[in-house]
Structure 1
Amino acid sequence: MDKQITHGWEQSESLELPKRFENAENVCVVGMGGSALGSDFISAAFGGSLSAPIYIVNDYIIPAWVGKNTLVILSSYSGNTEEVVAAAEEVLGKTDLVAVVTSGGKLGDWAEKNSIPAVVIDPKHNPSGQPRIGIGYGIVGQMVILAKAGLLSVTKEDVQSMALQMKRSHAEYGDAAEEDKNKAKQLAQNIKESLVVLMTAEHTTGAGHIFQNQLHETSKQLAVNFKLPELNHHLLEGMSHPKAVIEKMVCVLVSSELYNKRNQKRIEVTKEVLEKQDICTEVFVPMGKTALEQAVDVVMFASYTTFYLAMLNNINPAEIPWVDYFKEQMK
């Protein structure tokens, strides 16, 4: 994934946005599945430096609140995601602050026809062709658009830092790392045949969403994702029934010394409450000195964990037969 990050930056840093994009006051990202994961990652990992809120729309319709000062990013890895293509048809009537992230397809053609600024990905470092496995391209493409619009401060050094952290993560979680020292291999073993409940906070919440998505598509295993502190206000009371489900559940808490002190304590107390209810818990502490590096490490940890879990589940991690079947029936 480090190659995706650096290659994506090289492809997109030359993007030029008209001066009017500096008028953006909020951001609407339209994307589905893996194509929407980048904006969730950015919103969480760069939460302290973003100068405008990001709203993610997973639907056909552009929200009514989108107006002339809204930057709309249409994100579709293939360029043929029907919800995003449908949204493109109506967006120009609401704002002219529109940009695209895609590898081509109908959305790429639409952007060219309408002279819409676009980051057109050449995904040579994602031979699988799956958006979730090409997440590095999506993250960088959207980062560059936000930076060029003056909404996010990001430099080549930030990108290099992300790529370097990915290399460190690869050394830690990659297949060459022995299982007794490999946290990704260990977690895959511990969550096999379980309902995975992910619990994240602050800068790791976007990475938590990516983790959930990859558990579904890569491992073909059910997972849910909750955020602290919100989950403490309801979820802990829902851990009693149905008994058959609770017994098959593993809660994975992502902790960090960079969290707000109260959230650090919430992680500890949440773990205590779960264990008092005899619920299996795992705690993962990401590597990295900054929020961005830690968010990147969670993504890498998730990618390796879900791949190893796919092997344990004896399934092909690249194929998505039910999603493909569904799309075929929708034609």
Structure 2
Amino acid sequence: MFGSSFLDSKKALSLDRHQVHASLQDLPAQISQAWTELSPLSLPASFHGANKILVCGMGGSALGARIISSIFASDLRLPVFIHHDYHLPAWIDKHTLIILSSYSGGTDEIISCAATIPEDVPTFVITTGGKLAEMADSHGWPAYIFTPQHNPSGQPRLAIGYSTFALFTILHLLDQLDSSASAIDSLVEFLQNHSRSLLISTPRKSNPAKTLAEKLHQSQLILVSSQHLDGSVYAGRNMLHENAKTLTHHYTLPELNHHLLEGLTYPRSSHSQIQFVFFDSDLYPEIIKKRLQLTIDVVGRQGYRFHIIKPEAPDKLAQSCETIQFLGFLSFYLALLHRIDPASIPWVDYLKSKL
């Protein structure tokens, strides 16, 4: 591990050549922009007649759907399906609202899906432009084509405020979710205040993301969450992959209790190579709180190191956003400890170049 002062040094900041820190800091502004630009929209009558929603997206462009589905699982009256493939499922019909999400507008899988949507299927597009924006125009699909002014890094995974709150606002317009400008303003203010302790200008001794990054450095990670935090922790897993280049797994409660605990015995080397991060919440049901504590007990008894993160926000939406914010900065500081540019994704770029 580098000395404790490394993350407070100018050398650490110099590794951030593509403004990842600025994008992370601008999560609240992304949320505000998406809500402000989309909330005045009137959706076609066919959208209100949908009885299910299919969100087609890959990587960072699909994270918003997973986050919203987790937070509002007990509130949404329409099922939301997330689709990661080249071909649409056979069950789509004129009562399916398809949402095509591609930050660049050029994602192969999403363009492939878009090309086969029947004319009578209501469709909405979320993108910054590209081929997908052209298809929206030619087909007459309503679209949110946004200028990502609060994502200077240009990385889709760091535009999570846009993708999440574009979908949130659409669901609000469909009367699936209740919200208001004042509620969004309160959320934005909370996240702005919360981010202050996470910024690179905040010294390590007062910065929980820097402190945890140093403890996790050079370890394989297992993240454990439940219910409304599942989507945000899943998104954090992706950021730990792409920003920190760190092998990270995500398991959820109660499901992991039915298999993972027995899988922690071998290989013996895993006990020193893996660390757990548990995400607790006062908003979990009592049975989940009990399962979480018992799971922590079993993990500790097997000799694994573990850490507990507990968001402080008062409601599920804010706790989820708080968790995304924390994990984004955690992945950023791990990248700096590895002395790498958190924006670069050389192996993903290599694969795409060979397709």
**Candidates 102, 106, 117, aligned match of 1:76:** 102
**Candidates 26, 32, 39, aligned match of 2:65:** 39
Identical-pair percentage: 37
CA distance in 2, matches of 1:290, 1:4: 20
The 8 Å contact of residues 5 and 137 in structure 1, kept in 2 or not, is answered as yes
**Candidates 117, 138, 147, aligned match of 1:91:** 117
Q: Which amino acid aligns with 1:247?
A: S
CA RMSD between the two structures: 1.2
CA distance in 2, matches of 1:118, 1:197: 37
The 8 Å contact of residues 99 and 145 in structure 1, kept in 2 or not, is answered as no
Query: CA shift at 1:29, angstroms?
Result: 0.5
The reply on whether 1:232 has 2:257 as its aligned counterpart is: yes
Alignment correspondent of 1:56: 82
Q: Which amino acid aligns with 2:87?
A: I
What 5-or-longer segments of structure 1 have no aligned partner?
Answer: none
Alignment of 1:96-245 (within 5 A): 96-245=121-270
Query: CA shift at 1:35, angstroms?
Result: 0.2
What 5-or-longer segments of structure 2 have no aligned partner?
Answer: 1-26
Q: TM-score, normalised on structure 1?
A: 0.96
- Choose 229-238 or 18-27, whichever is displaced more: 18-27
Query: CA shift at 1:115, angstroms?
Result: 0.5
CA distance in 2, matches of 1:169, 1:115: 41
The alignment partner of 2:99 has SS state of strand
Work out the number of aligned pairs and report it: 329
Query: CA shift at 1:23, angstroms?
Result: 1.1
The 8 Å contact of residues 218 and 310 in structure 1, kept in 2 or not, is answered as yes
- Choose 225-234 or 161-170, whichever is displaced more: 161-170
- RCO higher in 1 or 2 (8 Å CA, sep ≥ 6)? 2
The alignment partner of 2:148 has SS state of coil
Query: CA shift at 1:147, angstroms?
Result: 1.9
The alignment partner of 1:173 has SS state of coil
Q: TM-score, normalised on structure 2?
A: 0.90
The 8 Å contact of residues 271 and 303 in structure 2, kept in 1 or not, is answered as no
Q: Which amino acid aligns with 1:253?
A: F
The 8 Å contact of residues 222 and 248 in structure 2, kept in 1 or not, is answered as yes
**Candidates 30, 35, 38, aligned match of 1:12:** 38
Alignment of 1:305-324 (within 5 A): 305-324=330-349
Q: Which amino acid aligns with 1:185?
A: K
1:73-113 superposed Cα distances (whole Å, 9 cap, x missing partner): 100000000000000011225x5221110001000100011
Alignment of 1:230-309 (within 5 A): 230-309=255-334
The 8 Å contact of residues 199 and 228 in structure 1, kept in 2 or not, is answered as yes
The alignment partner of 1:196 has SS state of strand
CA distance in 2, matches of 1:6, 1:239: 42
**Candidates 13, 26, 47, aligned match of 2:52:** 26
The 8 Å contact of residues 93 and 121 in structure 2, kept in 1 or not, is answered as no
CA distance in 2, matches of 1:172, 1:50: 33
The alignment partner of 2:81 has SS state of strand
The alignment partner of 1:281 has SS state of strand
- Choose 14-23 or 36-45, whichever is displaced more: 14-23
